[in-house]
Amino acid sequence: MTSFLLKRLLALVPVLLGASFIVFSIMHLTPGDPAVLLLPQDASAEDIAVMRESLGLNRPFLVQYGSFLQGILRGDLGTSFRSGQPVAGLIMSRLPATMQLATASLIVAIIIGLVAGIVAAVRQYTLWDGGAMVTALLGVSMPNFWLGLMLILFFSVFWAGRFGSVLLPASGYGTIQHMIMPAIVLGTAHAAFVTRITRSSMLEVLRQDYIRMARAKGLSPFRVVAIHALRNALLPVVTIVGLRFGVLLGGSVVTERIFAWPGIGRLLIDAVRAQDYAVVQGIILTYAIIFSLVTLGVDLIYGLVDPRIRSQYR
């Protein structure tokens, strides 16, 4: 297990280096000059040159990238051009909100996806199966921003007009009520993927000989599905759930904007608009680290689900 972890952790190094270089390159190739944005419109060329020098933007590209990597090794992601605050501090102040929303959304996706996928597989070619697949298709096709606006109109605007008070707050952060609508918006889209993978995996397992044997021995349908079939069908589900969590962290930008959720998604949008290179680079690097760790966690969970894989860790 120890050697496996070391190998995987070492494999993350080139991935993170590549991600940091790509993001650093894209931000510096983006049209516009942060120095110009930070100064008044009537700033002179001399003022702009002084500002660029103070921000370190006048140095060669590779020198800037090298300084960025040295800062990462010290735990320093740089300083925001806009606010002058440490980037690491800005990210850490917003990261808990994004993690909470991603976790709640993943729970919604797992509950809906597993139940719908199992029912669709057990009731194959019935109305249950067709309804689950149509719902999954709608979940994949429905834009997050549209669903978010519809939920706000119904649970906040319409409900307040009809009953005199909102059922769920349209924006904000701090309570479970604030989290319900954003979690539903993000969770339903990802529940569609979980439903399709669960159904496909369950159908494959239910056709196996040991499932027929379990049924022939007189075991109850619930025991056959829940104990014998589901555990063996979970491996691809674990994969998609792990990847969905990484996508949820990076894909919550629009949802955070709609519901005024104070996560790093909103911080990323504001930083891109202001061409705040340091903040954008720090956020993308944080996404890459979390996604890589999630992938490593999925590999470790494989061993818990399937003992045959566990032997490869030794």
pLDDT tens sequence across 25-48? 887 777 777 777 777 777 788 888
- Give the mean pLDDT of 148-175: 86
Residue 274 has pLDDT above 60, yes or no: yes
Render pLDDT for 98-108 as a digit per residue (tens, 0 to 9): 889 989 999 99
**Contact, 266 vs 256, CB < 8 A?**
yes
**pTM higher than 0.85, yes or no?**
no
- The Cα-based distances of 297 to 117, 128, 241, 293 in angstroms read 24, 33, 11, 6
CA 76, CA 87: separation in Å to the nearest integer?
8
- pLDDT computed for residue 181 by the predictor: 92
**What structural domains and CATH numbers belong to the chain?**
1-74 (no CATH), 96-311 (1.10.3720.10)
Residue 314 has pLDDT above 70, yes or no: no
**Contact, 133 vs 120, CB < 8 A?**
yes
- pLDDT computed for residue 1 by the predictor: 59
Name the average pLDDT for the chain.
83
- Give the mean pLDDT of 247-270: 82
* Residue 55: pLDDT band with limits 50, 70, 90: confident
What are φ and ψ of residue 165, in 5° steps? -155, 150
Residue 150 CA from chain centroid, whole number = 22
Closest residue by Cα to residue 194 from 131, 128, 139, 266: 139
Of residues 173 and 31, more confidently modeled: 173
Residue located via tokens 């996806």: 113
- pLDDT computed for residue 311 by the predictor: 56
In this structure, what DSSP letter does residue 263 have? S
Closest residue by Cα to residue 269 from 253, 246, 252, 289: 253
CA 88, CA 278: separation in Å to the nearest integer?
10
Residue 155 has pLDDT above 70, yes or no: yes
**Contact, 283 vs 268, CB < 8 A?**
yes
